[in-house]
A and B are shown apart, each in its own frame.
Chain A
Amino acid sequence: MSVKHALLALLETEPMYGYQLRAEFEQRTGETWPLNVGQVYTTLTRLERDGFAAAEAENAEGHVVYRITEAGRDEVAAWFTTPVARTQPPRDELAIKLALAVTVPGVDIGTVIQQQRSATMAALQDYTRLKRRAVGADPRELAWSLVLDSLVFAAEAEIRWLDHCEARLRRAALEAGRQNSRLDDETSSSHREFHRPAGETPSTSGTEGTSR
């Protein structure tokens, strides 16, 4: 996350000192990504070094107030008009875990998927509960509510992806079962038994594995 640009964008609204910047940032993002004040001051020092912000004299309470420079305004404008790069997908522990669960013997992938789905669902319920409270006309509340929406959609996408993985794995298991039954022989009168993946209970419909 670009702390530098976020702080610079806040300075665009008015000159502020470090603690103030942190508070304003967290009001908009609900402490989803907590900033420590040391990080804020380090960033301010760097912004000053690069000519994007300038320190003003201390205010009455002894805080050093920073204001944005012309170069800083240009930098913020460029940030807002440039899409966030997606060239390097962030490391996704869940995707890596499933990729390994599929290939490492002895892992019950169905359980891995269900446990994750429940955990993500519980988080999604919490975000939704918070959303119900976060309503107000204040643009900062709206900002926080949009951040919550982002978390909601990300959690939903994860659950959909898990559903998708489950359906694909079921289909793969069905196909493997079908191939085995063909290899076994044609004498079996109960093809349905063979079509069912090992350890699975009979499904309510033959297309279960391909649904959704």
Chain B
Amino acid sequence: MNPILELTDVTRVHGEGANQVHALRGISFTAHAGELVAVMGPSGSGKSTLLTIAGGLDQPTAGTVSVEGTHLGGLDLQGRARMRRTSIGYVFQGFNLIPALTAAENVALPRELDGISARAARKEARTALDEVGIGELADRFPDDMSGGQQQRVAIARAIIGERRLILADEPTGALDTETGEEILQLLRARCDAGAAGVLVTHEARHAAWADRVVFLRDGVVVDETGADRVDVLTEHAAR
């Protein structure tokens, strides 16, 4: 099976000479359709750099990144921007919604930028909002919504237009425990429905929703987990 996201030997160096900082050192990383992968690590371990490079917001110093088979390095600025609008959904800790636009308008924006008609974009936006469980809030402005509702809007914006790669950077960071859990259920459901998800988090409880957990330290993958089972408990659940 071809991965939706594939990073091969990716290195990212910031600065030059004596001030050089290696944010990533030859990382290879994949996320397949239907898979949610969590990336954990302390501040400075390179996890956010990994996500921005995967999303085409930053370029690797060496190595390649491909999304659905397309090498991001081979695209010009416009091509990458288009890729970000059509294939990649981003969810941030701070929601990043436009306050002057309603929920539906926020969600429809990437589609409208993509050139489809406003009417069609709004229709897709409403479907996406329904999918994340807040169809009835389509005409609200972000300021009139709770943090959890705003993050749902952001997720709807990330999934609109059949985008198959969802990149989430601490999406639960600004939310309380229960609401955070709901957001993860949503991401999980999205991946179960066929998307590939990458979740950057420092919360083990949230990373546990992933199929695989990748541990980063100093720009290197030091470990990976996700295969073993706790037998007793799975047997219980199977009954």
On A, residues with C-beta under 8 Å from B are: 30-32, 34, 114, 117-130, 132-134, 152-153, 155-156, 159-160, 163, 166-167, 200-205, 207-208, 211-212
- Find the residue from B45, B46, B224, B234 having the highest chain A CB count within 10 A: B45
Q: How far is the CA of A126 from the CA of B42 in the complex (A)?
A: 23
User: Does B100 touch A at the CB level, under 8 Å?
Assistant: no
Interface flags, B86-104, vs A, CB<8A=1, else 0: 0000000000000000000
Q: Mark B39-55, 1 if CB is under 8 A from A, else 0.
A: 01011111000000000
Contacts of A152 in B (CB 8 A): 205, 208
Binds A, one of B61-69, B136-144, B157-165, B225-233: B225-233
In the complex, per-residue mask of B181-217: 1 if CB is within 8 Å of any chain A CB, else 0? 0000100100000000000001111011111010100
State whether the Cβ of B116 lies closer than 8 Å to any Cβ in chain A: no
Closest-by-CB residue of B relative to A123 is B230
Query: B-side interface residues toward A, CB under 8 Å?
Result: 21-23, 25, 40, 42-46, 185, 188, 202-205, 207-211, 213, 215, 218-220, 222-230, 232-234, 236-237
Q: Are B208 and A130 in contact (CB under 8 A)?
A: no
Contact B218 A208 (CB under 8 A): yes
The residue on A at minimum CB distance from B192 is: A132
Task: Please give the distance in Å from A192's CB to the nearest CB on chain B.
Answer: 8
Contact A124–B205 (Cβ < 8 Å): yes
18 CB < 8 A contacts A-B: A32-B233, A117-B215, A118-B224, A121-B213, A124-B205, A124-B207, A124-B208, A125-B208, A125-B210, A125-B213, A128-B205, A128-B209, A129-B237, A166-B42, A204-B44, A205-B21, A205-B43, A212-B42
Report chain B residues within 8 Å CB of A205: 21, 43-44
Q: Which residues of chain B have C-beta atoms less than 8 A from A202's C-beta?
A: 22, 218
Instruction: Find out whether the CB atom of A127 lies under 8 angstroms from the CB atom of B215.
Output: no
A118–B225 contact, CB under 8 A? yes
Closest to B219 in A: A204
For B226, list chain A residues within 8 Å (CB): 122, 125
Q: Is the CB of B234 within 8 A of A118?
A: no
Q: Separation in Å of the A136 CB from the closest CB of chain B?
A: 13
A155 touches B204 (CB 8 A): yes
Within the complex, the shortest CB–CB distance from B23 to chain A, in Å, comes to: 5
Asked whether A204 lies within 8 Å of B21 as measured between CB atoms, the reply is: yes
Q: Are B234 and A204 in contact (CB under 8 A)?
A: no
Q: Is the CB of B213 within 8 A of A130?
A: no
CB pair A121 B225 closer than 8 Å: yes
Determine chain A's interface SS by DSSP, over half rule: helix
Q: Which of A129, A130, A134, A208 contacts B44, CB < 8 Å?
A: A208
Complex-state Cα separation, A127 to B207, whole angstroms: 12
Cα separation A167 to B229 with both chains bound (whole Å): 28
Best-buried of B40, B43, B219 by chain A (most CB within 10 Å): B43
Q: Which residue of A lies closest to B14 (CB)?
A: A204
Q: Decide: A130 near B43, CB < 8 A? Known: A114-B223, A121-B204, A125-B213.
A: no
Closest chain-A Cβ to B21's Cβ sits at a distance in Å of: 5
Roughly how many angstroms separate A123 CA and B211 CA in the complex, as a whole number? 12
What residues on A are CB-neighbors of B43 within 8 Å? 205, 208, 211-212
Chain A min CB distance to B214 (Å): 10
Residues of B within 8 A of A126 (CB): 228-230, 233-234
A114 in complex: contacting residue of B44, B211, B215, B232, CB < 8 Å: B215
**Complex CA distance for A125 and B38, rounded to whole angstroms:** 11
Given the complex of chains A and B, what is the CA–CA distance between A117 and B223 in angstroms? 9
Given contacts A163-B42, A211-B43, 20 further A-B contacts (CB under 8 A): A31-B236, A32-B233, A117-B223, A118-B225, A121-B225, A122-B225, A122-B227, A123-B230, A124-B207, A125-B210, A125-B211, A126-B229, A126-B230, A130-B234, A132-B185, A152-B205, A156-B204, A204-B21, A205-B43, A211-B42
